[in-house]
Amino acid sequence: MDEPQIRLSRLLFADGNPVTSPMIGSGIDGFIIRTGPRTVMKIPKLRAEILSDGSLKPEKENEWLIGSLEAEKAVYQRLEGVQGLANCLRVSSNGIELDYYQNGSLEDYMRVNDPPVWEQRLHWMMQLVDFVAACHEKRVLWFDIALRNLLLADDWTIRAIDFANSTALPLKTDLATTDWDGYTQKLEVLHVTNVIYSISQWEKFQVNCVYAHEWPLADSFPSTQHLDLGPIITKAWNHHYQTIAELRRAISSQ
């Protein structure tokens, strides 16, 4: 019986050169590689089959993945200068080069550390709300609002990453009426609130909701009675706030 053929592949940069840098992270559409002591680069998941003569045959999905990276580059460029964005050093045909945040994500930090004082947690919540509000002012819907996408800088402020599924809408877009393939700014209120609850409770909580009709029923959310921001969180889950700006005002008035 013939031995099954072993198909070998390797990672490529968009310019066709093989990737040799160490990989430190992986997502649905891309990899994170180390490019220096304090820098990383997000690159698309481009693969090539190694043929018998040693040459490389790029896979069919590569073109779509390159397009996805181009869309993410556009979001980083739109958000340039916004406080709370991971520092983007440069964009190139190969990827998005960023500062390396050695403290990891807020999700990682929560997993292995006791909760810090309330003032610190509240500070993180307000940074998140301010950042998403700034995104909306620049007509960007983030989509992937999650603890894993909030990195901790050396000064323990948060830095947002991962805009692979985000969109930079035309600057004259009215977000109040915009429905981007079923996703709206109000759904961002839901996902921001889930992160606020997670930081308050010091336990990860998220829901799979990308369309308005998937918004969970009120009785499916956890209790918030014991939390300082409990009434605000519950109101947000119950559709009380239509925009991030409204949610920010409610938290600021506490």
Q: What is the pLDDT of residue 240?
A: 97
Contact 158, 150 (CB under 8 A): yes
Contact 118, 191 (CB under 8 A): no
80 in the same domain as 115: no
Task: Report residue 7 as tokens.
Answer: 């198909």
* Domain end call among 99, 121, 151: 99
The answer to whether residue 2 is domain-embedded is: no
The answer to whether residue 3 is domain-embedded is: no
168 in the same domain as 82: no
145 in the same domain as 240: yes
User: Of residues 54 and 146, which shows the higher confidence score?
Assistant: 146
Q: What is the pLDDT of residue 6?
A: 39
CATH of the domain at 66: 3.30.200.20
Q: How far apart are CA 9 and CA 49, in angstroms?
A: 4
Contact 38, 100 (CB under 8 A): yes
123 in the same domain as 72: no
Q: What is the pLDDT of residue 61?
A: 66
pLDDT tens, position by position, 66-85: 677 888 999 999 999 999 99
Q: What is the pLDDT of residue 28?
A: 72
Contact 91, 42 (CB under 8 A): no
pLDDT class of 65 with cuts at 50, 70, 90: low
Give me the sign of the Cα torsion angle 18, 76, 129, 180.
Answer: negative
CATH of the domain at 157: 1.10.510.10
Looking at residues 237-249, what average pLDDT do you find?
97
Task: Report residue 104 as tokens.
Answer: 């990891």
When the pLDDT of each residue in the chain is averaged and rounded to a whole number, the result is: 89
pLDDT exceeds 60 at position 185: yes
159 in the same domain as 84: no
Q: What is the DSSP letter of 156?
A: S
pLDDT tens, position by position, 123-156: 999 999 999 999 999 999 999 999 999 999 999 9
247 in the same domain as 147: yes
Residue 47 pairs in a beta bridge with 11
pLDDT exceeds 60 at position 5: no
The answer to whether residue 54 is domain-embedded is: yes
234 in the same domain as 161: yes
Residue type, 51: L
pLDDT tens, position by position, 81-111: 999 999 999 998 889 999 999 999 999 999 9
The answer to whether residue 22 is domain-embedded is: yes
Q: What is the pLDDT of residue 49?
A: 63
65 in the same domain as 49: yes
Task: Report residue 88 as tokens.
Answer: 């983007």
Chain-centroid distance of CA 50 in Å reads: 33
Contact 128, 196 (CB under 8 A): yes
The answer to whether residue 89 is domain-embedded is: yes
163 in the same domain as 93: no
Q: What is the pLDDT of residue 181?
A: 86
pLDDT exceeds 80 at position 161: yes
